[in-house]
Amino acid sequence: MPFLELTLPCTLAQQPRFERALEDVGALAVTLADAHADAADEQAIFEPGVGETPLWDELSLTALFPHDTDALVLLAALEAFDADLDWTRAGFRKVEDQDWERAWMDQYEPLRFGEHTWIVPWSHELPADADTPQAAVVRLDPGLAFGSGTHPTTALCLQWLDGLARDGRLAGARVLDFGCGSGILALAALKLGAAHAVGVDNDPQAIIATRDNAQRNGVEERLSVYLPADEPVAAYPVVVANILATALIALADTLAARVAPGGLLAMSGILAGQQDDVMARYAGQFEDLRADSFDDWMRVTGRRRAG
């Protein structure tokens, strides 16, 4: 069926309020894009992942509603929900049903991280280099919620896991993916040789997404997923946490307790300039701390002190 599409400009600061209002009045989907990007370069973000925000200061926000939605009634409902936002710049049009999300996803290509790790959309055939016994292939639908490998923070973590596998440090290991989102990092760890992975996230939708992705990738028996309140506390030889720097600092003691003595920790979601604060917070319990960058984002890694 066709849809009613609403498009409006907004700032990064306003985006959460606009999105809350749109969801409250029944938006079927919400997409964010750079307001100043050329169409050829533009990449949408469908429902940003847990703790993630777009990198752009000025956004173009698009929402879909059922085709029979009355635009004037919808606009009145939005103004009633949050009258302080400027809804006068909203534009409407009818769009035909062409599997709206799939049209975006089809723009994404298979991605390689390190030597062996591949993230391949379900809509694509395996590249020749990924169709080998050595390749660790995670099938995912990029562009959907919670993380697809396209963001630098996810890429940094995937590259780190690939390096651990290359050095033989993932083989048979138990891995914790703290803030798992789509489960992409846990899935990659399992495909790279980990024996078992645990995903933890405070968003129930992330739990559902991770379980679904684990099943579709054939590793559901080796992946356990929990909300924080349900998580069985344990220490792991490998822990990865792709969340925000402020959360990493606030959760330092919690994360440190999840890393076994001598175990390895990788943290991302850290903007350039924030890495020193993160490293200082973890320095008392971790050694060999280092920071690596990708675009404007950082990854901090370290080894849990034995004592």
Which residues of the chain does CATH 3.40.50.150 include? 108-304
Q: Please, are residues 234 and 258 in contact by the beta-carbon 8 Å criterion?
A: yes
Q: What was the pLDDT predicted at 44?
A: 39
Averaged pLDDT, 214-239: 95
Which residues touch 209 (CB under 8 Å, ≥6 apart)? 144, 145, 146, 181, 182, 183
Which residues of the chain does CATH 3.30.70.120 include? 3-104
Q: Could you give the CA distance from residue 181 to residue 149 in angstroms, rounded to a whole number?
A: 11
88 is in an annotated binding site: no
Quote the tokens at residue 127.
């590249």
149 is in an annotated binding site: no
pTM for this entry: 0.69
Averaged pLDDT, 276-290: 97
Residue 14 carries which side chain, given as an amino acid letter? Answer: Q
CATH code reported for the domain at 108-304:
3.40.50.150
Averaged pLDDT, 116-143: 85
Instruction: Name the CATH code of domain 3-104 (choices 3.30.70.120, 3.20.20.70, 3.40.30.10, 3.40.50.300).
Output: 3.30.70.120
172 is in an annotated binding site: no
pLDDT tens readout for residues 82-119: 999 999 899 998 877 655 455 555 556 788 899 999 98
242 is in an annotated binding site: yes
Highest mean pLDDT among 11-20, 115-124, 138-147, 278-287: 278-287
pLDDT tens readout for residues 136-160: 999 986 544 345 555 788 889 999 9
pLDDT of 62 above 60: yes
